[in-house]
Amino acid sequence: MRLPPLNVLLTATVLLGTSSACIVEAPGGASDQERRAATVTQVPPLSIRSGANLGGKVEVVGATVQPGRIPAGDQARVTVFFKVLQPIEEDYLVFVHVEDTDGRMERLNVDHKPAGGLYPTTQWKVGETVKDEFVVALPQGASPRAVNVWLGLWEPRNDSRLPITNPEAVRNDGRGRLLLAQVPVGK
């Protein structure tokens, strides 16, 4: 079996209507060039500003959701920017929970390594901003009014999340989940 080249950037895809979870990982690791590609020197204009502080180690600067409304059967790309505040000793995964705002559909979990698996959190440098992307895809026939996109950093070996240390300043559920976006569904 032939593996894809190391420079393949993987993204996580969330499908509403399924209840599976996956961990997305790039085969082998990454070069310095690929790791540099996972960081940005200037954050582009954001449709969502956050400022959530995760464990004093990472700030969720904000995100973009394109398009801002998901037609049924279509998808939206979510790009999140993390600013590194302190060294990180653990390899955290980005967890993403997508939920129907009306509670009619089962919650979906898509846990993935940041930056397509190319740049583990233990290698993040203080002061840099890391870009992470994933796709929220809605199957034909999905009829939620909107979906909530919850996000955080999770360490799977001890099943712990980095806590939100400024919960009064950001939308959250009190259990380490940041409400990153509420995305309308429809035309």
pLDDT value of position 13: 36
pLDDT value of position 28: 45
Q: What is the mean pLDDT of each run of 10 residues along the chain (187 residues)?
A: 35 37 44 78 89 98 94 89 97 95 81 91 95 86 87 96 98 96 89
pLDDT value of position 30: 56
Residue type, 111: D
C-alpha–C-alpha distance, residues 152 and 146, integer Å: 20
pLDDT value of position 78: 95
Task: For residue 117, give the DSSP letter.
Answer: G
Name which of 1, 183, 176 is nearest 95 in CA terms: 176
C-alpha–C-alpha distance, residues 163 and 107, integer Å: 21
| Surface-to-core class of residue 161, CB atoms within 10 Å of its CB (0-12 exposed, 13-18 middle, 19+ buried) | middle
The phi, psi pair for 92, rounded to 5°, reads -85, 150
| pTM for this predicted structure | 0.81
pLDDT value of position 7: 35
Query: Which domains are assigned to the chain?
Result: 12-184 (2.60.40.3880)
Would you put residue 91 in left (φ > 0), alpha (ψ -120 to 50) or beta?
A: beta
pLDDT value of position 8: 33
